[in-house]
Amino acid sequence: MSAIAIDINPAYQPEGIEGQGFFATSLDKVVGLARANSLWPLPFATSCCGIEFMATMGAHYDLARFGSERLSFSPRQADLLMVMGTISKKMGPILRQVYEQMAEPKWVLCMGACASSGGIFDTYSVLQGIDKIIPVDVYIPGCAPRPEQVLDGILQIQKLAESETRRRRESPEYKKLLAQYGIE
């Protein structure tokens, strides 16, 4: 028992005042901490990127380590929309409806070349990137990206969730962004 692991990263702790048996910080930071570490993803998986995501959810890569083991197949209970795979133009309105049904705060993670830009499917039937219909927070490049990249993408989303203000939806920037897409 003499060997002590020294390469452990302790959990992120926001700035605050600490004393014997108490810790004081701002509400925004506490809420951010809670949100970031309990994201409920909605997997919108349409093709091979979805298979990589299944590996990410599996025991080997284990997305549960980051507090996202609870997949939500109802958009109303999800915080994070993960779009994985080719989105055809016919699927576009459905994706947009799923996004609109999600409650604030919500984030969008766009996995793989097809979802990000249409990828190799430069053709009449395929949407050339989901950012034509909904705002995207994080893009994961690759075809298909490896599970490590998906984990990295989730960590990027967590950083956003941590640092954003508690009532993001009321900020003028956010309203402007949504207005660009004609949402609300």
Partner 1 sequence: MNEVVEIIQKKIQEKFTDALLSFEMNYDFPVFVVQKEQVKNVLSLLKNDKDLNFHFLTTLCGTHFPDNEKDSEFGIMYQLHNMPKNWRIRVKIFMPKTNLDVPTITDLWKTANWMERQEYDFFGFNFVGHPNLTRILNMDEMNYFPLRKEYPLEDMSREDKDDKMFGR
Is 122 an interacting residue with respect to partner 1 (CB under 8 A)?
yes
Nearest Cα to Cα of residue 43 among 88, 91, 90, 79:
79
- Whether the bond between 75 and the residue before it is cis, its omega within 30 degrees of 0, is no
Q: Which is nearer to partner 1, 80 or 87 (CB)?
A: 87
We find the least distance from the C-beta atom of residue 128 to partner 1, in angstroms, to be: 5
- Pairing mode, strands 22-24 and 17-19: antiparallel
Contact 53, 13 (CB under 8 A): no
Scan residues 36-75 and list those touching partner 1 (CB under 8 A). none
Taking CB under 8 A as the criterion, the residue among 56, 72, 117, 158 binding partner 1 is 117
Of 28-36, 54-62, 74-82, 118-126: span binding partner 1 (CB under 8 A) = 118-126
Query: If DSSP codes are grouped into helix, strand and coil, which group holds residue 62?
Result: coil
Is 166 an interacting residue with respect to partner 1 (CB under 8 A)?
no
Torsion of CA 155, 158, 160, 165, to 10 degrees: -170
Taking CB under 8 A as the criterion, the residue among 36, 126, 134, 151 binding partner 1 is 126
- Interacting residues with partner 1 (CB under 8 A): 89-90, 92, 117-118, 122-126, 128, 132
